[in-house]
């Protein structure tokens, strides 16, 4: 059975709106990325507690800390960024989130990120080692222009780090925006994938569209997941109004459009979705 989660800040900056629209669309868990236009890593103590209380009162749980960790140039000071990572871990513990979303670094200006592979791996391994006594798992999102943007380098990350606490969050649209067909990458990444980000895109233009309306090959991959016994989350990250480097936005109506498109694909293929 599939379970529905979402980057709720795609709906509104306001936590009450996020909760209301999630419940209206059957979303049971959220990926906490921002509230009040404040990044999750910058939440103060009062805001953290307010969010935790409101989510608990609504019955919605935090699945993942949608952090921007690794979304900096590889020559960004390591200790400074590692300290930010520790905040993400603290937040996952505070909100009871089993996952933290991370990235694998941009190149320095004018450089090729492949030339910095060893440093990418060193930093990723340090994060995994930090979690050795924790139940938290890091999920790497394939993102345009980072080390793990294309399938080959995503697989390299998974095989090199080779740790149960480091797994893949498979994003269809991001592969399309790198000029790749997600199905070409799926066989090698399937064994490492424990989380799915649902957004689709048009090959060439990179325009983000609802699931099934682009070249992301969402339907056959979700069907293969189902047939393989996947019992995990498909997370709405629609980006239908704004698709930026540090996040996206859809608004209430376009968020519903995205949710309805995914549910339509699931119904078409007799893939059960857990009820809220």
Spans of the chain, pLDDT less than 50:
none
Options 3.20.20.150, 2.40.160.10, 3.40.50.1820, 3.40.120.10; CATH for 3-268 is 3.20.20.150
pLDDT value at residue 243: 60
Q: Six-digit token pair at 124?
A: 């990723």
The pLDDT of residue 276 is 67
Beta bridge partners of 34: 39
In 3D space, the residue among 245, 237, 180 whose CA is nearest the CA of residue 210 turns out to be 237
| Domain-wise residue ranges, the chain | 3-268
Q: What is the 3 state secondary structure string of the chain?
A: CEEEEECHHHCCCCHHHHHHHHHHCCCCEEEECEECCEEHHHCCHHHHHHHHHHHHHHCCEEEEECCCCCCCECCCCHHHHHHHHHHHHHHHHHHCCCEEEECCCECCCCCCHHHHHHHHHHHHHHHHHHCCCCCCEEEEECCCCCHHHCHHHHHHHHHHHCCCCEEEEEEHHHHHHCCCCHHHHHHHHHHHEEEEEECEECCCCCCEECCCCCCCCHHHHHHHHHHCCCCCEEEECCCCCEEECCEEECHHHHHHHHHHHHHHHHHHCCCCECCC
Q: What is the pLDDT of residue 208?
A: 94
What pLDDT was estimated at residue 110?
A: 87
Q: Please name the residue that has the structure tokens 């492949």.
A: 114
Give which of 89, 15, 106, 88 is closest to 58, Cα–Cα. 15
pTM given for the model: 0.96
**What was the pLDDT predicted at 51?**
98
217: left (phi over 0), alpha (psi -120 to 50) or beta: left
């Amino acid at each position: 059975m599939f379970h529905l989660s979402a980057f709720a800040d795609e709906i509104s900056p306001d936590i009450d709106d996020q909760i209301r629209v999630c419940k209206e669309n059957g979303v049971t868990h959220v990926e906490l990325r921002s509230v009040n236009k404040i990044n999750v890593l910058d939440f103060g103590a009062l805001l953290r507690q307010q969010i935790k209380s409101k989510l608990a009162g609504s019955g919605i749980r935090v699945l993942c800390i949608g952090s921007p960790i690794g979304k900096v140039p590889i020559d960004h000071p390591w200790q400074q960024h590692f300290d930010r990572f520790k905040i993400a871990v603290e937040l996952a513990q505070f909100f009871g989130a089993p996952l933290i979303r991370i990235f694998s670094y941009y190149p320095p200006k004018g450089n090729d990120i492949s030339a910095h592979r060893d440093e990418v791996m060193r930093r990723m391994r340090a994060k995994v080692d930090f979690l050795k006594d924790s139940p938290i798992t890091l999920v790497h999102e394939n993102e345009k222009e980072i080390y793990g943007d294309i399938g080959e380098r995503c697989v390299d990350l998974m095989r090199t780090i080779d740790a149960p606490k480091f797994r893949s969050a498979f994003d269809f649209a991001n592969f399309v925006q790198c000029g790749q067909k997600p199905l070409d990458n799926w066989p090698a990444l399937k064994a490492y994938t424990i989380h799915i980000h649902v957004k689709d895109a048009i090959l060439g233009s990179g325009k983000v569209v609802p699931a099934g309306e682009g070249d992301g090959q969402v339907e056959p991959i979700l069907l293969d997941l189902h047939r393989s016994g996947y019992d995990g989350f498909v997370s709405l990250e629609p980006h239908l109004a704004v698709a930026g480097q540090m996040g996206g936005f859809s608004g209430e109506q376009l968020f519903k459009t995205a949710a309805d498109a995914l549910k339509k694909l699931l119904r078409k293929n007799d893939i059960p979705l857990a009820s809220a």
